[in-house]
Amino acid sequence: MHPRLSCSLNGVYDRGVLKQQAGNPDWGQQVSDVLRAGIQRPKKGHDAGDHPPITPMRAATEAELGHEAWRLYDYITRHFIATVSVNVVFLPLPRIFSV
């Protein structure tokens, strides 16, 4: 694992990290969708510079890392993918329940 470069940089670094993850059976399709749609940059907040986000350095498997290390790698990688994905849109759906 390795700290990401500043969020103000262009997406070249992020694209390279994402391309490494595109073959993963758990999140590869989402990564391919992000690469196709383009990397999204944060719209709010500020970079305090005190703690850059953690980024996976290369693709890995649970067999390579072991179960406990894999759980951390899985969390970090999914979080990284989420930071460059399109924003979630919530749609309110009315529901009627009877008791």
Q: In terms of Cα–Cα distance, which of 5, 23, 95, 11 is closest to 59?
A: 23
Return the CATH number at 20.
1.10.290.10
Residue 10's pLDDT is: 42
Per-residue pLDDT of the chain (99 residues; tens, 9 = 90+): 444 444 444 455 688 889 999 999 999 999 999 999 988 877 777 767 776 677 898 999 999 999 999 999 999 999 999 888 888 888 998 989 998
Q: Assess if residue 97 is contained within a domain.
A: no
Q: Assess if residue 98 is contained within a domain.
A: no
Q: Is the distance from CB of 54 to CB of 1 less than 8 angstroms?
A: yes
Q: Assess if residue 60 is contained within a domain.
A: yes
Domain that holds residue 67: 2-83
Q: Assess if residue 88 is contained within a domain.
A: no
Residue 55 CB partners (closer than 8 Å, separation 6+): 1, 2, 3, 4, 17, 76, 80
Note the pTM of the prediction, 2 decimals: 0.72
Q: Assess if residue 59 is contained within a domain.
A: yes
Q: How many structural domains are present in the chain?
A: 1
Residue 16's pLDDT is: 87
